[in-house]
Amino acid sequence: MRRFADRYETEVRLGLVAIVVLLLILNLGSSYILQSVQARLTGQIDERLTGALAMAGHYLGKNQVDRMAEDQARLFRQQFGLVGISVGSLDPAAPGGIRFAESPNGLAPDDLGGFSAQDSRRLQQGRFLFRTGQNRGIRYGLAAPKSIEGRGLVIAAVADAQPLAALSRASRMVFYLAIGMSLLVIPLALFLPRLILRPFRTMKETARSVGRLSEAAGDDDVAAVTASYQAIIEELKQNELELRRLYTETSSRADRLETMHQYLLQSINAGVMMVDPAGKVIGFNRAAGEILGYDPADVVGRHYLAGLPEEESLGLLIEAGLLRDETFGTHDLEVVRGGRPSLWLTVGSSLVRDDTGQGIGVAVLFADQTELKQLQAELEINRRMAALGEMTGGLAHQLRNSLAAMSGFSQLLTKKASSDPVLSDLAESIRSEAAVSAAMVERFLNFAKPLTLNTESLDPVTLVEGCLRKIGDRAERDRIAIRFRRPDIPFRLDGDALLLREAVGNVLDNALQAAGPEGLVDIALEAGADGLQLVIADSGPGIADDIRDRLFTPFFSSKPSGTGLGLALARKIINLHGGSITFDKRREPGAVCRITLPMAATVCPAVSSSSVAVAKKS
């Protein structure tokens, strides 16, 4: 490589000289070929002219004429491919020494301008003269054959020589081109090596300035640059190997960290969801799927509005972070989910930022607090019920004694006033109201006192049908349609039949009142993940948000004639059985009560699409 570099500049010059020589050889060869073709073409034309001149001399000598008939001239032109043929006479006073009565086609007077006395003698000797016209487009021949010797006649024949003229021009062009290229390449051979080597010198200076110049090459620029950049290339190869090793190590470490991150994310019992700036869900752990009821595979990679279509409350948190950079500390949030039960979540959101502080997404952390909220509500109800029991115990005892006295006095007054109908009616009214009040006080006492379960194995279908029979007449009277959907597979539950019948009857009674005349009550009995579910839906006006939290409060009622104990007693009975009773939040009219009770055996019945009409509109 170094020997090549040492001879580089010399070889460049020798190469350019060789190019010049090669070009000259090519030009000389081209000129020789063109001249050979030109000579052959000239010989062919001269042969035709010679034949035409000889035949014309023979014609003139035989016919002893000084001119050539037009038809004979046309015959010669066609036979020998001539442009023109004519007969003239030697005349020293004429241009070129020859005078034509009629100049042949293509032959101008200037073409004969170089005709000399020697040429005249040659013609008189019977020799042929051939020349190319001044315009280079014709070639003509002159002759005074022996057949017309002594008569002073000269025959001129003219042939088309355009190809000959083209070859002549091409030959001249090649010659001039050879001269021009030689003049151009010779300076290049002198100065081009310097131009070629200038970048090498620049690279050499650059390598020297950064301390990477190889001094082993001496003063030779090309050798120095070559050696220096060879060393740099070797160093780059070593660096590439090191970078590959570091990349492999870093990738392996990143994979391990990603795996550890996934393990950690999936091991957290709280729900974790991460969304990128475009709104695409990039993280959704197992706990999040279990809490919200989604398969993480159906959520990750989709927009949060498409992946979580029913989670409007969580969507608002994510939207606030993405659009307004707003975050929310840990707080309790009720998640309303359309037709599914609501959830109570402890939720917090935060912005995820990179090392430059640029936001790269939103993270939402949440935990299911629904069961805790239910326990808190039950504890509060139990506390209120205990206080209510203590208060109503003494109060109801006093009221019962007073009502018994009122009932006795009213009966005595009825006997005394038997002769007075007006007074007798008033006494009977007092006794009737006292009986109603006594029944209500008795109901208060039953509600306040502790309940005892007489547990037995029950068929829930039979239990519901018994409740429906009690309200059948009322439903028929008010033209209320009742649909009851039974499960396909029978199952049983353990509970107190009387208490459960009272609880379900209270809920059905509220549903009938809400549905009103011409209304509809839909009942479904089905098995869920938490146990047996009895769903009672009505077509009434629904539940206002301001009274939803007070529905199970004792003595609260939205109806003027209600006592406020029906739903409270139903909840007390259901809770005593280890179940729950809730009302779903719905946007459409109507209310949905959901009673959940533990089943006696693990069965998963499929809900039948058939329905039984207990009462129809008539």
- Residue 555's CB is within 10 A of a number of other CB atoms, namely 13
Mean pLDDT of 245-274: 82
Fold of the CATH domain 268-366: Beta-Lactamase (3.30.450)
Phi, psi of 447 (to 5 degrees): -70, -40
Q: In this prediction, what percent of the chain has a pLDDT beyond 70?
A: 76
Mean pLDDT of 494-514: 89
Residue 311, amino acid = E
pLDDT class of 3 with cuts at 50, 70, 90:
very low
- Distance in angstroms (rounded) separating the CA atoms of residues 495 and 460: 10
Task: With both helix axes pointing from N to C terminus, report the angle between 421-448 and 370-416 in degrees, rounded to the nearest 10.
Answer: 150
> What top-level class would CATH report for the domain 456-615?
alpha beta
Q: What does CATH list as the number for 8-170?
A: 3.30.450
pLDDT exceeds 70 at position 338:
no
Question: Of residues 199 and 518, which shows the higher confidence score?
Answer: 518
Mean pLDDT of 9-27: 74
Report which DSSP code applies to 222.
H
- Distance in angstroms (rounded) separating the CA atoms of residues 289 and 279: 18
Q: In this prediction, what percent of the chain has a pLDDT beyond 90?
A: 6
Dump pLDDT digits (tens) for 355-387. 788 888 888 888 888 888 877 777 776 676 666
So what's the pLDDT on residue 483? 92
Mean pLDDT of 533-551: 83
- Residue 49's CB is within 10 A of a number of other CB atoms, namely 25
Helix, strand and coil percent figures for the chain, each rounded to 5:
55, 20, 25
Mean pLDDT of 177-196: 72
The H-assigned helical ranges of 293-416 are: 296-299, 304-307, 312-324, 370-416
Domains 8-170 and 268-366 share a fold: yes
So what's the pLDDT on residue 523? 93
List, in order, residues 6 or more apart from 315 with CB less than 8 Å away. Answer: 304, 305, 308
Q: How far is CA 351 from CA 314, 320, 325, 332, 365, in A?
A: 15, 10, 7, 19, 12
pLDDT exceeds 70 at position 445:
no
- Residue 62's CB is within 10 A of a number of other CB atoms, namely 10
Residue 93, amino acid = A
pLDDT class of 32 with cuts at 50, 70, 90:
confident
pLDDT exceeds 50 at position 605:
no
So what's the pLDDT on residue 607? 35
Dump pLDDT digits (tens) for 119-132. 777 777 777 888 77
pLDDT exceeds 80 at position 252:
yes
pLDDT class of 489 with cuts at 50, 70, 90:
confident
Dump pLDDT digits (tens) for 97-111. 677 766 665 565 555
Q: What is the mean pLDDT of the chain?
A: 77
So what's the pLDDT on residue 118? 73
Would you say the C-alpha torsion 547, 551, 553, 559 has a positive or negative sign? Answer: positive
Domain spans, the chain:
8-170, 268-366, 374-448, 456-615
Question: Of residues 219 and 315, which shows the higher confidence score?
Answer: 315
Residue 6, amino acid = D
pLDDT exceeds 60 at position 587:
no
pLDDT exceeds 60 at position 257:
yes
